[in-house]
Chain A
Amino acid sequence: MIFLQSTNLQNTTYVVYFGTFGMLLLAVGLIVFVVFHQRKVIYYQLKMRNMQEEHQRLMLQATLNSQEEERQRLAADLHDDAGPLLATVRLYLNENLVHQDHATQLQSIYNAKQIVDDTIQLIRNISHSLIPPTLKNFGLESAMVDLVQKINGTGMINASCRFHDYKRRLKIEQELSTFRVLQELVNNILKHSRSSFLHITQNKNENYIYLRIHHDGDGLTQSEYEKMRDTPTGLGLKNIDSRIRILNGKLFFEKDSTNTYYKITLELPINALE
């Protein structure tokens, strides 16, 4: 109050004018900032939500396409392989068989039995392609070792697999999802990377299980993976992503600092799996 009373009149006029102008400027500035900032925030939120929706839509589309492809493959296998085989069996076992001589009957029955055996094997193969029996009976480690042995059998690439700490098995559906992810990743490496070696390892700490694939071919970096995953094509990568989401896991694509090999790390949280 003393300050207010001691200020001379000329100064007061300036203080009032400039003070009022300054306060007004700040107030208007604040209002304008809020109006524009809020719009910006909401547009950003909407954009983020749209992107998430688009990503989910692509995921769903990928899942549906994958299911459809699987059904078509099954239908083709059954129609093209099992169908003709069973039709042949029917030909062998037609009603004329009873009117034929004993030797011909035995030969026809033998042939029919052979074809039925082939059909059983075919159906077993189809069933195994849906869920590998090694995985079902012996777990992820055995299934991966089996997969690596098959790859080595081709002689095109040197593949190896080592699980360091996998005493306790995951649930069968989690193992299957993990196996499918690894299988797809390995498949991609075989198809696109032109690598000479492929090494799969498993490690574990208190919270996470780590599955790593190392290879020396042409690999992907994290940004390239995300870019390819979010394009409308790239069904395999979308399937990988959706399976990892189900497992609450994360996938990292890295290039070694020495530029000699690529590393893909699948990180699965133990709590979410148990």
Chain B
Amino acid sequence: MLLTLIKFISNFIPLGVFLFNRKIEGFKGFIFSLVLFAVLNTILTGIFNRFENEAYYYFNNLSYTPIEFLLVALMIRTILKNAQFKRLVLLSIPIFFFFWIVILSTISSKNFDSAAVALEELLLITFCIIYFYENIKNPNTIFIYSTQEFWAITGILIYASSTFFVYLFRESNWQNLNFREQYDYIHHCASIFKNICFAIAIGLKPYKTTNILNKIDRQVT
């Protein structure tokens, strides 16, 4: 219960940081949308759950997974520098939507779309690995953790990695109370961590130099 409360409150931490840092554009715009969407989702899920309404499943299946994937994919696309990787991310969006529709058409309206979420998480983990690969190939800063992008991607990667298995088994094991406990514990911890990472990402100042060596050059000359 306490963890659920902390998780709920943690949703507002990035929003609170946004109040002090009001420039919402580009990369930050996507984080803001993601955070706002998560807050709205938490509130609406709570309402739908309370009335045990079938609308919860419709809402969750039809909105949360695709919108979350779309926002994160577009955010990562703005971060990536390599044009081929950008195209790959863009190309993955219609592919994901195709599989999502196929998966949705095979499950009943009251089922959780475990397979679609698992696919989403796999794709997001892949995007995060691409981001890190790009940074290894062409380092921009000595302290990678001083960039907003690093914290946003770290949050997404840790969240997606942690919740992959609980989402994958959620539909088939939801009636098991032990599993629900497991699910809540892992999901809430991952969400709290993600929100903290997002808050750090929003709070940091943008890293302006494109290359640390160029920066040193400028200092020398």
Contacts and interface: CB of A to CB of B under 8 A. Distances in A.
B176 A9 contact: yes
B216 interface: yes
B177 to A, nearest CB: 10
A110 interface: no
Contacts of B176: 9, 12
Contact of B213 (A17, A28, A45): A45
Contact of B178 (A13, A19, A35, A49): A13
A204 B20 CA distance: 72
Please give me the 3 A-B residue pairs with the lowest Cβ-Cβ distance, nearest first: A19-B165, A27-B161, A23-B161
Nearest to B118: A4
B166 A16 contact: yes
Interface in A211-261: none
B157 A41 contact: no
Contacts of B95: none
Contacts of B139: 38, 41-42, 45
Contacts of A4: 114, 168-169, 171-172
A55 to B, nearest CB: 16
Given A16-B166, A23-B162, A34 B132 contact: yes
Nearest to B165: A19
Contact of B136 (A12, A15, A28, A38): A38
Contact of A35 (B144, B163, B165, B173): B144
Contacts of A49: 213, 216
B168 to A, nearest CB: 7
Contacts of A30: 129, 132, 157
A41 B136 CA distance: 8
> Interface residues of A: mostly helix, strand, loop or mixed?
helix
A13 B165 CA distance: 10
Interface string A41-58: 111011001000000000
A41 B178 CA distance: 46
A46 B165 CA distance: 42
Interface string B118-132: 000000010001001
Contact of A31 (B141, B154, B212): B154
A60 interface: no
Given A31-B157, A38-B135, A7 B172 contact: yes
A24 B158 contact: yes
Given A7-B172, A12-B173, A45-B213, A27 B145 contact: no
For chain A, give the interface size range.
20 to 34
Given A1-B115, A20-B186, A15 B144 contact: no
A155 to B, nearest CB: 54
A130 B136 CA distance: 52
A56 to B, nearest CB: 13
A37 interface: yes
B136 A34 contact: yes
A39 interface: yes
Contact of B135 (A13, A24, A34): A34
Contacts of A1: 114-115, 172
Given A41-B136, A45-B213, A49-B213, A19 B144 contact: no
A24 B161 contact: yes
B179 A9 contact: yes
Interface string B173-191: 1001011001000100000
A26 interface: yes
B142 interface: yes
B213 A20 contact: no
Contact of B144 (A20, A23, A38, A45): A38
A9 B173 contact: yes
Contacts of B178: 9, 13
Contacts of A271: none
Contacts of A45: 139, 213
Nearest to A15: B165
18 contacts: A5-B172, A9-B179, A12-B176, A15-B169, A16-B182, A19-B164, A20-B165, A24-B158, A24-B161, A27-B125, A30-B129, A38-B135, A39-B142, A39-B144, A42-B142, A42-B212, A46-B212, A46-B216
A129 to B, nearest CB: 39
A33 to B, nearest CB: 8
Given A37-B136, A41-B139, A17 B182 contact: yes
Contacts of B182: 13, 16-17
Contact of A16 (B135, B179, B216): B179
